[in-house]
Amino acid sequence: MNTGIAEPSESETGASENSGRIDGTSHILPLRVYYEDTDSGGLVYHANYLKFAERGRTEMLRLLGVNHTETAQRYGMSFAVRNCTIDYRRAARLDDWLEVRSRLTDLRGASVRVDQGVWRAGDLVAHLNLRIVCLRPTGRPVAIPDPIRAILQPYVQSSEQT
């Protein structure tokens, strides 16, 4: 998809081969389940799905040219999770190969909705729906800066379109 925005280079974004890939309007981040991700029974500890999702969102933004550190320095704002729901469908286990699939579903003045799934071999393991807000260092909401909005807008796909 040609968005009219020049693709940022790897050196500009900090993206690497570990950043996953953009597929249409979705981002896909492959990851392996390590021992540190599991509980005593070898299953992924429930809170670690939040970490997997965070990595997916961060790498999606990085590939799109939105780096958290640079955004904070340039615009004096950061993104924070306002709301998150998780539906655990199956258990992931030690050594599983997973994919975190992320897509933007709504872009508002100071927030963006993100739909994420953690998948294993074609099976949905966990589904997350999040509202991410743009905040000043004081914790007050602030509108998403226009340059970032312009980057994100082409990747927004409403949940009704899926």
The answer to whether 73 and 136 have CB atoms below 8 angstroms apart is no
* Number of CB atoms found within 10 A of residue 96's CB: 19
Catalytic pick from 23, 39, 87, 95?
39
Tokens encoding 144: 């998403």
* Number of CB atoms found within 10 A of residue 155's CB: 20
| Distance between first and last Cα of the chain | 18
Tokens encoding 18: 């570990």
The answer to whether 93 and 43 have CB atoms below 8 angstroms apart is yes
Query: Has 146 been annotated as catalytic?
Result: no
Residue in this structure with the two tokens 């509202």, named with its chain if needed: 131
CA distance 86 to 2: 33
Annotated catalytic residues are 39
